[in-house]
Structures are given as structure tokens and as C-alpha cells.
Amino acid sequence: MLASIGQFLLILSFVVATVLMLVPMAGYFKNNDSMMRTARPLSYLLFAITLACFLILVSLFVMQDFSVTYVWQHSSLELPLRYRITATWGAHEGSVLMWVTVQALWIAAVAKYSRSLTLSQVSRVLSVLGIIATGFIAFVLFASNPFEITNPAPLDGRDLNPLLQDFGMIIHPPLLYFGYVGLSVAFALAVSALIGGQIDEKWIRWSRRWTNIAWAFLTIGIVLGSWWAYYELGWGGWWFWDPVENASFLPWLAGTALIHVQAVSERKNAFRGWTVLLAIIAFSLCVLGTFLVRSGSITSVHSFAADPFRGIFILVLLGIYAGGALTLYALRVNQLRSKDAINLESRETMLLANSVIFITSTFTILLGTLFPMIFEAFGKKISVGEPYFGLMFFLLMIPMAVLLPLGAQMKWHKDQFSAAVRQLMPHFFIAAALTVVTYWLVGGMNVRATAGVFGGLWIVSTSIAQVVKFPGKLNAGFVGMTVAHLGVGLFLFAMSMTEHKDIEKDVLLMPGQTTQVAGYDFTFNGVKQVKIENYQAQQGSILVSQNGQEIVELNPQKRFYPKQQQPMTEADIYPMVMRDIYVSMGEQITDDGGWAVRIYIKPMIRWMWFGALMMMAGAVIALFSKRSKRQEHQQVNQVMQERLEIS
Amino acid sequence: MTPTRKKRLILVLMVALGVSVAVAIFLTAFRDNIMFFKSPTEVAAQDYPENRNFRLGGMVKDGSMSRIPNSLKVQFVVTDFAEEVKVEFEGILPDLFREGQGVVTIGKMRNDDLFVAEEVLAKHDENYMPPEVADALEAAKKQQSNYGNYKQEESE
């Protein structure tokens, strides 16, 4: 019964989205105000319907309605309530429904917070968002319907994948989707500007805020994914360059390029075509990522059920969105010609360099992700893994780290490289000296770690110096930038430590046996059987001590979920300020109680994530920038005038 | 040449230089860091990169797994039901590693008869078969049945 209502609402939402896609846009072309005015109410209606749809699916899970195929496939009678709720987005159908709901939420938010835009602008933006929503609702409706009925209903469900029965599942996917889908707003703004044929500062400033919010969500979504993989997959890695991770990282990189270029195009009539193009690229990569994840065309640890029809459906959507937007771009790009000249030696150039570096990184990683597919077409099976991505990313982040402080140091409009470099020189030596100290403290580092540590210190040192030097500049924009850049520095430093100074040891431990890793003693006191909620576990007891002083008792588990007949490793982690102690159990090796145990010392991993959170915080702080742009604009005009007179 | 043109020329040259360096690095990194996937049949035919890691995938042969006492060393046999390769691995096997299930291992061949794995991957989902493994099994089956037909024809 409830499922039929859900089904009905889904169809209704498809109709509403189609109307939103057509009517306000038609109104714009006919110059019909009353048609354009339908955009806002339609947006709110769309959100109300999709939200109701989503909540119905949640209640179907809560009430254990096994007549719904999706519910029995991913839930069971024993599944605890909190995981029944999260199971809603635990697999393909529900997660696409969540995508659609989040999409509708963004559309409603744009409708609500767009008072500063003219009616024709609002109706265009909402209509373009309507196109995207229609496509994805059609995808839910025709290719992944969560309300499908099984008759007769089974008595019990198949249960949720044990890996997804975890706290990380509650927050990671929703936040990531907020970011992913949020980039569609930047895309819609770009496309509707192309339709209108002009972009002004107000437009860019407005879209910049939305991009910042989306980027912040994307950042925290990725961080949570990394944290979750770290403790849940049981083997202590935090990033695997898995195609699915890349699928979230690609839009992030393009988005990073976008928010930096927007800083220029907001101030000046320059790089506007590039801004628009980057917005198109960023969202197209979101859709491409969805294709990679859902079509099963690439092998990945995130094993979503592979279905070629779904893959083709998304590919068609990608073709329509990206193809349509790029065609429009090609037709209109001439009208977006930059009017303001850009000095070579200025912050504008540095921000352009930033976007070039980040877009190069985007395509390098995209190529690595797609190459296995290309080779497959020629009958060769290859995989591209950490060695390729790690090396390429390292090489591309060198110019990023070197140029970042210079970019932040250079003044807008006109400056001199030599003067900026002179200003930064002391920090070069400070960073070098601190790198030597670090090298000595941690006892040697390889080339990549040394470069990473130096780059991190160089960025942190120069960023702090700028705050000290320009206390008068402490407006939200400047603070946001500096916080984000400090985050980049911290991330680089901590990541170099985590990646290159970690210690991993797999050992066979008999009960009572002690092993030493990095100055810590690990005493294995055997395992005991425990039964918790819907699983049984063999829980180990490992006493960690240092110089005879007890630090903590860790209890990693080897869980067994009877329903799915699936074992799972649950690590136990003792987080400390400078390092994590990470213990997980493999399997029982000997009959007299000997277990394979993995012991990990992960230095500074919390700092690494904290650095990424600072980047997110920076983007959020920058939202509160109220600085008057007019004053600055006058200044620009003045400089331009002088230039004209000189030449 | 006017100063502006000169500036532009320098810019263009720098961009060209940057791009060619990037492409060169990319190609080198790519050539050195991709990993080939090989099935036991291909390994038996000596078709694998030497002294370099590659991925070997197939099914873990039933009853083939043995442990070396007092260590984390295990040996097992990976098969595509046409050919077999003996694999040695030291470390912790993934939760879903089981005899009779699909597996992908990463490592090198030693002395043409032993694959020393550095990493063993089994998928999170027990019903999931790595696509490469499924393809390899399919190919081996086809080859065998072709061979069978050939033999049949011969005997006729």
C-alpha cells in the first residue's frame, strides 16, 4: 500500500520536474512573466514530493515491508533499527532516490535564496536544474525503481552487507551527495548564463557562494569516506585510488580549480569563459563518476550491482548534459570574451596557473581511471593503481605547493614576481630548516616524504606570515583563504608522515605472547566469543604498553554475520595526538589459539584529515565575505586607465 | 619584435615546454606503472612480464591451501580449470578468501613455477566474481572445448 503511494509520488515528481524543465524556460523565451513565475512554486513542490517519496522508502525499511523487493534484498528481521534506516541508501536504487531528493533540496534552496536575481535569471536556472532532475528521476523510475514489489513476499530479508552496518554509512553518503549534486547548481548557473548570453559580477559572486558550499560538502564527504575506509575495511589504508574514490575526487579537483578562477572572474571581466567551462566540467565529472560506479564497467571495491542498461542510461544523461552544455558553450563563447586585460605579474595569473594545475591533475587521474576500459577494448587487461596515481599526483602537487604561497602573496591587478619572491624568501629558509629538524626527529625520510614535508611547512609558514603582516585585511574572504591554505599545508605535512613513516607488521601471536613494534609492546591475551546484536564475534584482547606502563587494551573483532554467512574484520584503534595504534585480526592459524594479527602505527593521520577539514572550513568562512567589491572595482578601473594612458 | 609580442612568445614557449615535459612524464609513469592481468593459461604459456608485478586471477583450487607452520606463509593453487599456478603469500588473507572462490593476486613469478604474491584480493561481496576472473575462466573453457572438438574431429 505504502509502496504504491511511493510509486505514485515518484511518477508525480517526474511530471513536476518535467513541467519545471519546460514551463519557466518557455516563459523566458516568450517573455511571459506568469510562466516564469511558476519556477519557484514548482521547485518547492518538487522537493516536497521527492522528500515524501524518500521518507516512504525509509518507513518501508523501518516497518520491514518485505513485499518490496529493495527492502528484502537489503534488510532483515534482525537488522537493528538504525541500520534499517541507513539501508535505505545502502544500495543502488535507494541511493539514486537519495540523489534525486538531495537534488530537489538544492533546487528548492536555489529557489529560496535567489532574491537578488531577476525573474528571468531565476527561471532559467531553475529550469536547467529541472532538466537535470528530470533525467535522474527518469533514471530512478525506469532503471532502478526502489518500490518494485515481490509477490509473494519473503518471510525474511537477505540482510544488509555487514560492511555497511556502521556509523560511517549514516553520514558519509548523504554528505558526499550534497557535494556531488551541489555542483549541479554551478553547472545550471553556467548553462543558464550561456542561454542568456551574458555574465556579470553579481552573477559570478552569487554562483561562487553555491560552488563554495557544494565544494565544502564534497570535501567533508570525501574525508568521511577516507576515515570510514580506514577503520572499516580493516586494513588501515585511507586512500586506495579506487575508481569509485576517483569518481568523487575528480569533481573535487575540478571544483577546486573552479572556486579559484571564480575569485578572478568575480572581480574582473576576465576568465569568464573559463569559469563557465570549469563549472560544466565539474558537474559532467560527477555524472561520469556516477556512470563509472553504477555501470560496473570498472572493477572496484565498491561493488554496486552491475547492470549494463543502467550504465547506458547514465551515459545518455551524460551525453545530454555535457554535450548540450558544451555545444551551447561553443556557440556562445564569443560573447564571453574577457574585456579587462590581465597583467602577467598579478594574482590573476597565479589563480589561472592554479586552475591549469588542478585541471591537469583532473585529466591525469581521469586517464588513469579510464585506461583499463580503453585497453579492455583492445583485448588487453590491465589495471592502473597506486604506483601510477601516486607518482603523477606527487609530480603535479609540486608546482601547486611551490606556487601557492606566491599566489597568495601577489597583489591583485599588478605586482612584481621579484618583489613577491623577495618577501617569501625568509620562509623558504624557515621551511628548509624545519624540514631538516623533522628529518632528524623522525629518523630519515624518502624523497617524496621530504618534498611533502617541505611543501607543507612552506605553505604553513607563509600563510601565518600573511596573517601577521596584514592584520587589517582580516575579512572573511582573506581568513577563509588563509584557513584553507593552512589546511593544505597541514594536509601535505601529515600525509607525508602517514604515508611514508607508518609501520606495519603482520605477526602470528600465541596467547600470552608479546611482540614489539615501534617501542610499544603488544601482548596478546587470546580471544573470547561474544554475541552482539545481529552478529557473533571472536574478540581479541591485546594489551598495549610502553616501558612496562600500560597504555590501552585493544579489542579487535573478527565478526561473523550468520544471515549473510559473511565474516568481517573490525579493527580497534587507539587514536593519540601524534599517531594511531591500529590492531586488527586476520584468522586463527594454529589449533592452540594462535592468531594472525596486523599491527599498524599510523603517524599524524588525524592531522591529515584535520587539514582537509580546514580546507572545508575555509570555504565555509569565505561565504561570509561582505567586502564591498565596488571600491575595489573602481581601483581596477583606475589602474586600467593608467595603463591605457601609458600605452 | 614589440615587447608585448616578445612576452607572448616567451609565454607560448613556456607553455609548450611545460606541456611536453608533462606528456613525457605521463608516458613514462604510465609505461612503468600499469599492471597486466594474466590468467593461469597465459602464465603457463610464459606470457607474462618478467621481474615485474602483474595480477594473476582465477579460482582458488579446492583443497589446495596449505600453511607453513609457525609463520603466516600460505600456499595455494590458482586455476582457470585449464592450467594451474602455485601461489605463495605471506601475510593476512582477506576475509572472503576461500577455496573454490575467485581471487586476484598481485606479485611476480619466481623460477617459472611459483607466483610470489605481495597482495591477495578477494571481493567484499561473496557473490561477486572479479570480471577479469570471469573472463579468464570463460576463455579457458572455450579453449578447452575447442580442443575437445578438435580431438573429436580427429578421432572421427
pLDDT tens digits along A537-571: 999 999 999 998 999 999 999 999 888 788 888 99
Is 70 exceeded by the pLDDT of residue A642?
no
Cell of A548: 612496562
Query: For residue range A69-126, what is the model confidence (pLDDT) as tens digits?
Result: 999 999 999 899 999 999 999 888 999 999 999 999 999 999 999 888 899 999 999 9
pLDDT in tens, A456-483: 999 999 999 988 887 766 788 889 999 9
The strands making up A503-509's β-sheet, listed across from edge to edge, are A503-509, A595-603, A579-588, A572-575
Residues composing chain A: 647
* Nearest Cα residue to A244 out of A187, A283, A291: A291
Candidates B17, B28, B31, B33, partner chain A, best to mutate (most A CBs within 10 A): B33
Interface touch B96/A566, C-beta < 8 Å? yes
Neighbouring C-beta atoms of residue A42, cutoff 10 Å: 23
Give the pLDDT confidence of A210-239 residue by residue, as tens digits.
Answer: 999 999 999 999 999 999 989 887 677 899
**Among A282, A279, A400, which Cα is nearest to A350's?**
A400
Inter-chain contact A388–B30, Cβ cutoff 8 Å? Answer: yes
Mutate to test the interface with B, among A358, A381, A589 (most CBs of B within 10 A): A381
CA distances from A646 to A341, A416, A640, A642, B2 (A): 14, 18, 10, 6, 15
Q: What distance in Å separates residue B139's CA from the closest CA in chain A?
A: 12
Q: What is the pLDDT of residue A14?
A: 98
Q: Does residue B104 sit in helix, strand or coil?
A: strand
| Same domain, residue pair B4 and B58 | no
Per residue in A25-38, pLDDT tens?
Answer: 999 999 999 999 99
**Does the bond joining A152 to the residue before it have cis omega, within 30 degrees of 0?**
yes
> What is the SS3 assignment for A113?
coil
Tell me whether residues B135 and A381 touch, CB distance under 8 A. Answer: yes
The residue of chain B nearest to residue A595, with distances taken between CA atoms, is B72
A506–B92 CB contact, under 8 Å: yes
SS3 B98: coil
pLDDT mean over A260-275: 89
Residues of B in contact with A384 (CB under 8 A): 30, 33-35
CA A418 to chain centre: 37
Do residue B125 and residue A303 have CB atoms under 8 angstroms apart? Answer: yes
Asked whether the beta carbons of residue B71 and residue A382 sit closer than 8 angstroms, the reply is no
Q: Where are the alpha helices (DSSP H) in A37-166?
A: 39-62, 69-74, 81-86, 92-112, 119-143
pLDDT tens for residues A30-66? 999 999 999 999 999 999 999 999 999 999 999 999 9
Percentage helix, strand, coil, to 5, in chain A? 65, 10, 20
Q: Do B48 and B30 reside in the same domain of the chain?
A: no
The percent of residues above 90 in pLDDT, for chain B, comes to 24
Co-location of B15 and B74 in the same domain? no
Q: What pLDDT, on a 0 to 100 scale, did the predictor assign at position A431?
A: 96
State the pLDDT at residue A236: 78
Is residue B116 located within the same domain as residue B61?
yes
% of chain A surpassing 90 pLDDT? 66
Cβ–Cβ gap B92/A587 under 8 Å: yes
Written as tens digits, the pLDDT of chain B (156 aa) is 566 777 778 878 887 887 788 778 777 877 778 888 888 999 999 888 888 889 898 889 999 999 988 889 999 999 988 899 999 999 988 888 888 888 889 999 998 889 999 988 876 544 456 666 777 777 777 766 654 444 444 333
**Residue A311 and residue A292 in contact, taking contact as beta carbons nearer than 8 Å:** no
**Pair B30, B70 in one domain:** no
What's the Rg (C-alpha) of chain A? 27
ipTM of the shown complex = 0.78
The Cα A412–Cα A389 span in angstroms is 34
Same domain membership, residue B59 and residue B12: no
Q: What is the CATH number of the domain that holds B46?
A: 2.40.50.140
CA distance B111 to chain A (A): 23
Q: Which H or E run includes A345?
A: none
Overall number of domains in chain B: 2
- Cβ-based contacts of A364 with chain B (< 8 Å): 26
Between B123 and A380, the higher pLDDT residue: A380
> What are the φ/ψ torsions at residue A331 (nearest 5 degrees)?
-70, -35
Residue in chain A lying closest to B124 (CA): A301
Q: Are residues B2 and B72 in the same domain?
A: no
Domain that holds residue B79: 37-155
Shared-domain flag, residues B76 and B2 = no
User: Do both B30 and B98 map to the same domain?
Assistant: no
What angle (nearest 5°) sits at the alpha carbon of residue A364, between those of residues A319 and B108?
A: 115
How many angstroms separate the first and last alpha carbons of chain A? 77
State residue B148's pLDDT score.
Answer: 46
**Weakest mean pLDDT among A263-272, A357-366, A374-383:** A374-383
pLDDT digits (tens, 9 = 90+) for A565-616: 888 889 999 999 999 999 999 888 888 889 999 999 999 999 999 999 999 9
Whether residue B151 sits in one domain with residue B80: yes
Chain B interface disruption, residue of A161, A164, A299, most B CBs within 10 A:
A299
Nearest to A301 among B22, B26, B124 (CB): B124
Are B9 and B45 in the same domain? no
B64 and B5 in a common domain: no
Residues of B in contact with A360 (CB under 8 A): 22
Q: How far is CA A493 from CA A436, A483, A616, in A?
A: 13, 15, 17
Query: Is pLDDT of A627 > 70?
Result: no
Chain B residues touching residue A540 (CB < 8 angstroms):
none
> Quick check: A371 and B36 CB within 8 A?
no
The pLDDT value recorded for residue B2 is: 67
Q: Which of B11, B25, B28, B34 to mutate to test the interface with A (most CBs of A within 10 A)?
A: B34
